[in-house]
Structure 1
Amino acid sequence: MCVCMLCTYSDHKAHDVVPLKEEYEGQKAELKETEAEIQQMIQKRRLKLQEIKRSVELSKERADRETAQGVQAFTALKESVERGQAEFIRTIKEKQRRREKQAEDFIKELEQEISELKKRSSEVEQLSVSEDHLHLIQSFSSLNTAPPTKDWTEVSFCPPSHEGTVVRAVIQLEETLIKQIKKFFEAQLKKVQQYAVDVTLDPDIVHPKPTQSSAKQEVKEGDDCRCVLSKQGFTSGRFYFEVQVSRWSTWTLGVARKSNLKREITLSPNNGFWTLCLKRRGGYFAPAEPSVRLPLKSRPEKVGVFVDYEEGLVSFHDVDTAALIYSFTGCVFFSRFCAACLSCVECFSPVSWCILHGHRHLSALLPD
């Protein structure tokens, strides 16, 4: 047994003592536990290290892929512009060539007539001073009139105007670019549609409770509802869903962060709402900060919603035309949020209130 010298006298005499081997075995066991914990911590960090490295690789692959697709899209647009420019220049040059050819023909014809007139003038002048009476009389009938020439009174040559050519070229370029952009957005829509999910409505997360179809994927017209939320929730990755909005005169569609909700909530990204709205008078807007009015060319009948959690992106698409309606970027979701919902809340202005009556989480909103 090993005893501390201080423990044999003075105030330390009452201290407990243990056999050295027993203490050794106990501390050795504790060290093994500590070593196991440290090894476990090392393993966790190695896994996290691998996860981060893999994430970096995936991020680089995605960046390279997006860059390649972006370069391809911009190259196509650039080539369209260059072709339009080349065609415009060719048209201008061809028009100028024709005008120059016309001018050259006029000049040649005028010079020919001037030469003939000078010749006739010289002959008339010589005849007028001739003392040969017989010669003058014999030549008079042929020289007394000017030679046949063109009437140049109505002939004019004005510098060409190329304004119409410029306008036509720009219109043609616009049409070409619209086609190219449409093809691009069609490809983008197909790309995000790969992340489509089935959205199931949750009748227990609404106020008041709506009547649902057996599939639980639609709200019947005429339902007196405030909100219909989805059962699904997401904390990572990408997802896409579509909503038929053609039957509704007003609607609000989007996604929202799970949160404790007050009775009244302003639809805005600061409050965890990323939505698209149709007002009763037909105006579309995105309740951002500040609100963004959307002068759409056509009325969407089906709207697709795409979310990239890690990218912080929420985008709205017109499914029929493949047009991108609006995108929220730099979104911070923080926590779980639901996929979709159908709402009958009236959305009249950027500061409209959504009456949720204390529900603890919300997803995305739609129709009235």
Structure 2
Amino acid sequence: MSAAHKVLIEDHFLCSICLDVFTDPVTTPCGHNFCKNCITDHWNISDICQCPICKKEFKTRPELYINTFISEMVAVFRREAQQETSSSEQQAAEAGEVLCDVCTGTKLKALKSCLVCLLSYCETHLELHLTKSVLKRHQLVDPVEDLEDRMCLKHDKPLELFCQTDHTCICLLCSVLDHKTHQVVPLKEEYEEQKAELLKTDAEVQQMIQKRRLKISEIRESLRISNDAADGQKAEGVQVFTALKEIVERRLKQLIKEVEDQQKAAEEQAEDSIQHLEQQTSELMKRSSEMKQLSDSEDHLHLLQSFRALKAAAPTEDLMEVTVHSPSYEGTVVRAVAQIEETLTEVMKKILDPELKRIKKFAVDVTLDPDTANANLILSDDGKQVSHGGVKKNLLNYAKRFTRWFNVLGKQSFSSGRFYFEVQVKGKAGWSVGVARDSVNRKGEGYMSPQCGFWRMCLWKQEYRASADPYVRLSVLSPYKKVGVFVDYEEGLVSFYDADNADHIYSFTGCSFTEPLYPFLNPHMNNEGKNSAPLIITPVSHTE
């Protein structure tokens, strides 16, 4: 609408009293138009009843009626003016936004899409859907593109139903023709059901996210603890090895001083002997000179009188007895090394003793699981002792029961952190103690090695071994009576200790644990009573 045309029309719809667009326009007998309230109020306060424009007087107040024609024209004018204002306020759609399908010229941004009309509307063109009762029943959604995809390609009808049998959206004709024997529900019903399922799935996903965040926190905390432990071990290692270095250097200085002192004593002895012999040599040379003079003398009496004195003064010392004893250094280094070894043993014992005390802080209460025990084993009522009975019992063959090895697992499993337990092996001729992963083969053939999920040490044929592949022979000064087992899950460490003497026996390092670990015991065969003593899980003492 042009500005001049708009002003021209607007002049025809203005009340001359309020100077605004007519509201409930009425016409006086003289043909002029006013707002009904405006002219009524004007006559109420006036002494005479006349037209405010032409001043025509009326003897009686005219009965006024709404001029329907002007009223409809005013309504059209108001609507067009409102649309024009609304259009001026709306902005043209930007790239990627849904366009109004009704707008001509500049396309405005769609406010809603109608799933019945399959059209998108801007605010102005949406008004009929908001005011007309027939259109109010249409389903409006946020603007979407490709509304034609919501039409049935076969029947050109809106997709209003959902076939639960074929899991597809269909139209009314599809439900009658192609899916008449199928389970069909309205789209909204399936939407509500799927939305509920979606919310449920999302809740599960959120739980999964939360669990993973917690696991990440646990791993980070474990890593922090591991880093702190590594820093502590490095600091302790520097301290210990610095002390050991000082011990070796000090013993080396002692060795060098000991050798040098012996060498100095030998040198002093040799110097004394040389000085003594040089003095005797000088005296003998003097005597030789006198004897030469005497031998040249023709005086018989003088020779006889002097020879006796010269002969009597001659030294009689046996030169074979004048010797210098070279010090013997053989075995000096060996003795020094032996002393260092003894010192290092004492130092290591002082180091390991506190280490085992620290490890004992991770002690756990282990109880044996009878459902895992081989049928030949006998367990105590408290689940703390196991021995080989020599007779196979008739037991239910649970999936987790060992049928080949004489093994039994603890009830408790460990998937993180550190744990420690002790087993009494006193009086036994054979045994195995350690940890096993959850998935070990409990029925078939195989070896109890780390490759098969076992980390253990054992006494087999009077020889202590660690079950590496190949196995490692362990040196021992005296038979073990109680063995401690320590596991650091994150560090991948399994260590064995002589619990009575606080000595380290053997460690598996660099292990990769990805599933729960269980303590396990194997008392070995009874061997006709020669190995009948039980393996006993003992309480861990923290005061040793």
Structure 2 length normalisation: TM-score? 0.54
The correspondence for 1:270, drawn from 436, 448, 451, is 451
Deviation at 1:59, TM superposition (A): 3.2
Deviation at 1:257, TM superposition (A): 0.5
Give the distance between the partners of 1:233 and 1:85, measured in 2 at CA.
51
Q: Is the 8 A contact 2:437 2:516 kept in 1?
A: yes
Give the distance between the partners of 2:497 and 2:271, measured in 1 at CA.
58
Question: 1:312-332 deviations in whole A, cap 9, x for unaligned?
Answer: 011111112322222111112
Deviation at 1:343, TM superposition (A): 2.1
Question: 1:257-277 deviations in whole A, cap 9, x for unaligned?
Answer: 012634124211112111112
Alignment partner, residue 337 of structure 1? 517
Deviation at 1:141, TM superposition (A): 2.3
Q: Is the 8 A contact 1:268 1:288 kept in 2?
A: yes
Question: 1:263-294 deviations in whole A, cap 9, x for unaligned?
Answer: 12421111211111211x21222222222222
Deviates more, 1:55-64 or 1:103-112: 55-64
The correspondence for 2:471, drawn from 276, 291, 300, is 291
Query: 1:219 aligns to what SS in structure 2?
Result: strand
Give the distance between the partners of 1:266 and 1:44, measured in 2 at CA.
36
Q: Is the 8 A contact 1:117 1:146 kept in 2?
A: no
Query: 1:179 aligns to what SS in structure 2?
Result: helix
Give the distance between the partners of 1:53 and 1:260, measured in 2 at CA.
29
Give the distance between the partners of 1:81 and 1:259, measured in 2 at CA.
48
The correspondence for 2:139, drawn from 5, 18, 24, is 18
Question: 1:330-360 deviations in whole A, cap 9, x for unaligned?
Answer: 112211121x23324459xxxxxxxxxxxxx
Query: 1:194 aligns to what SS in structure 2?
Result: helix
Deviation at 1:79, TM superposition (A): 1.9
Deviates more, 1:106-115 or 1:67-76: 67-76
Taking structure 1 as reference, are residues 307 and 179 closer, same or farther at Cα in structure 2, changes over 3 Å only?
same
Give the distance between the partners of 1:60 and 1:188, measured in 2 at CA.
18
Deviation at 1:60, TM superposition (A): 2.9
Give the distance between the partners of 1:312 and 1:294, measured in 2 at CA.
21
Query: 2:323 aligns to what SS in structure 1?
Result: coil
Alignment partner, residue 198 of structure 1? 365
Question: 1:18-43 deviations in whole A, cap 9, x for unaligned?
Answer: 235799xxxxx9xxx9xx99999998
Taking structure 1 as reference, are residues 55 and 163 closer, same or farther at Cα in structure 2, changes over 3 Å only?
same
- Does structure 1 residue 219 correspond to structure 2 residue 386? yes
Deviates more, 1:36-45 or 1:212-221: 36-45
Give the distance between the partners of 1:336 and 1:57, measured in 2 at CA.
22
Alignment partner, residue 66 of structure 2? none
Q: Where do 1:36-47 residues align within 5 Å?
A: none
Taking structure 1 as reference, are residues 46 and 250 closer, same or farther at Cα in structure 2, changes over 3 Å only?
closer
Q: Is the 8 A contact 1:202 1:228 kept in 2?
A: yes
User: Which letter maps to 1:178?
Assistant: T
- Does structure 1 residue 7 correspond to structure 2 residue 118? yes
User: Which letter maps to 1:236?
Assistant: S
Structure 1 length normalisation: TM-score? 0.78
Query: 1:275 aligns to what SS in structure 2?
Result: strand
Deviation at 1:298, TM superposition (A): 2.1
Query: 1:289 aligns to what SS in structure 2?
Result: coil
Deviation at 1:168, TM superposition (A): 2.0
Give the distance between the partners of 1:321 and 1:111, measured in 2 at CA.
64
Deviates more, 1:164-173 or 1:113-122: 164-173
- Does structure 1 residue 93 correspond to structure 2 residue 273? no
Identity %: 50
Give the distance between the partners of 1:81 and 1:343, measured in 2 at CA.
43
Deviation at 1:216, TM superposition (A): 2.5
Question: 1:105-164 deviations in whole A, cap 9, x for unaligned?
Answer: 111110111111111111111222234555434423211345234211233335433113
Give the distance between the partners of 1:76 and 1:3, measured in 2 at CA.
83
Give the distance between the partners of 1:40 and 1:222, measured in 2 at CA.
49
Alignment partner, residue 251 of structure 1? 431
Q: Is the 8 A contact 1:76 1:180 kept in 2?
A: no
- Does structure 1 residue 328 correspond to structure 2 residue 439? no
Taking structure 1 as reference, are residues 73 and 224 closer, same or farther at Cα in structure 2, changes over 3 Å only?
farther
Give the distance between the partners of 2:327 and 2:416, measured in 1 at CA.
63
- Does structure 1 residue 240 correspond to structure 2 residue 420? yes
Give the distance between the partners of 1:191 and 1:57, measured in 2 at CA.
19
Alignment partner, residue 109 of structure 1? 276
Query: 1:247 aligns to what SS in structure 2?
Result: coil
Give the distance between the partners of 1:40 and 1:198, measured in 2 at CA.
32
Deviates more, 1:42-51 or 1:292-301: 42-51
- Does structure 1 residue 72 correspond to structure 2 residue 183? no
Taking structure 1 as reference, are residues 171 and 106 closer, same or farther at Cα in structure 2, changes over 3 Å only?
same
Alignment partner, residue 229 of structure 1? 409
Q: Is the 8 A contact 2:273 2:322 kept in 1?
A: no
Gaps of 5+ in 2: 1-110, 121-136, 145-194, 393-405, 527-534, 537-544
Gaps of 5+ in 1: 10-15, 24-28, 348-365
Higher relative contact order (CA 8 A, sep 6+): 1
User: Which letter maps to 2:246?
Assistant: E
Deviates more, 1:113-122 or 1:126-135: 126-135
Q: What RMSD over aligned residues (CA atoms) do the two structures have, in Å?
A: 3.7
Taking structure 1 as reference, are residues 207 and 60 closer, same or farther at Cα in structure 2, changes over 3 Å only?
closer
Query: 1:270 aligns to what SS in structure 2?
Result: helix
Alignment partner, residue 359 of structure 1? none
Alignment partner, residue 178 of structure 1? 345
Give the distance between the partners of 1:40 and 1:275, measured in 2 at CA.
38
Count how many residue pairs are aligned between Structure 1 and Structure 2: 335
- Does structure 1 residue 61 correspond to structure 2 residue 214? no
Taking structure 1 as reference, are residues 287 and 137 closer, same or farther at Cα in structure 2, changes over 3 Å only?
closer
Deviation at 1:52, TM superposition (A): 5.8
Deviation at 1:56, TM superposition (A): 4.6
Query: 1:300 aligns to what SS in structure 2?
Result: coil
Alignment partner, residue 313 of structure 1? 493
The correspondence for 1:169, drawn from 336, 343, 349, is 336
